[in-house]
Amino acid sequence: MGGASARLAWAAEMAAPQPGERVLEVGCGHGVLLSLIAERLAGGSVLGLDRSPTMTAAALRRNREDVAAGRVAVQTAELAAADLPAEAFDLVVAVHVGAFWRSPAEDFGVVRRVLAPGGRFVLVDQPLTPGAADGRATRIAALAAPYRLAVTGVHTGDTPPRPSIAIGLCVAR
C-alpha cells in the first residue's frame, strides 16, 4: 500500500470511487487518500480541499504526476468558503474531519449543495477512545438531517492501531 495508513486504505475501499466519477475530498491532509482514489478513477477526477496551505502543498507534491495528468486538483480553502460549483461531485469523502462530528455541523449544507443528484457522501473517523464509535451513526443522522442528508449505511473497519467507522449518506428524498 506504499505507506498509506490502514485507515486511509480502508477509507478508499469504503468510498469505492467508480471510474469516471467526480470526487471531492474534504480535509485531504497530505493527499494520501487522493492518490488511492486517483488510482481507481479511469477518466474521473478528484479535488482535494484543505484549509492548511502546508497540507495542500504536501498533497500537491505527493500527487504531482496525477495533477499534471488532470486527474487530481488541490485547493486551499475552508470548506464553507471554498469556490465549488453546485451539484459538481458524484462522491464526497471526508476522513477524520471534526467539523462533521460536532454541532451545528453546517458543513453538511455545503456537501449537500455540491453533491450531484444521486451522489453520496462517505464520512470516516478513527476514534481515539474504545467504544467511541458507538452511537456515532445516530449522532451523524441527527446532525445531517437538517441539511437533507440521510444515513444509508454504517461500517466498522479493522484499521490498526484502532478500529474505524465509515458512515454513508445520500441526499434525502
Ligand X SMILES: C[S@@+](CC[C@H](N)C(=O)[O-])C[C@H]1O[C@@H](n2cnc3c(N)ncnc32)[C@H](O)[C@@H]1O
| Residue 122, C-alpha cell as written in the block | 462517505
Rounded to an integer, what distance in angstroms lies between the CA atom of residue 57 and that of residue 28? 11
Rounded to an integer, what distance in angstroms lies between the CA atom of residue 59 and that of residue 48? 8
Residue selected from 40, 75, 78, 116 as contacting ligand X according to rule CB under 6 A: 78
Give the amino acid at 1.
M
Contact status: 49 vs ligand X (CB under 6 A):
yes
Say which residue the cell 500537491 belongs to.
60
Contact status: 46 vs ligand X (CB under 6 A):
no
Q: Which residue is at the shortest CB distance from ligand X?
A: 27
Are 24 and 91 in contact by the 8 Å Cβ rule? The answer is yes
CB of 54 to ligand X, least distance (A): 8
Residue selected from 55, 114, 143, 165 as contacting ligand X according to rule CB under 6 A: 55
Are 94 and 8 in contact by the 8 Å Cβ rule? The answer is no
Stretch that binds ligand X, among 15-23, 65-73, 96-104, 144-152 (CB under 6 A): 96-104
Rounded to an integer, what distance in angstroms lies between the CA atom of residue 3 and that of residue 133? 25
Contact status: 29 vs ligand X (CB under 6 A):
yes
Contact status: 114 vs ligand X (CB under 6 A):
no
SS3 assignment, position 122: strand
CB of 78 to ligand X, least distance (A): 4
Binding site residues, ligand X, CB under 6 A: 8, 26-27, 29, 49-52, 55, 78-79, 95-97, 99, 107
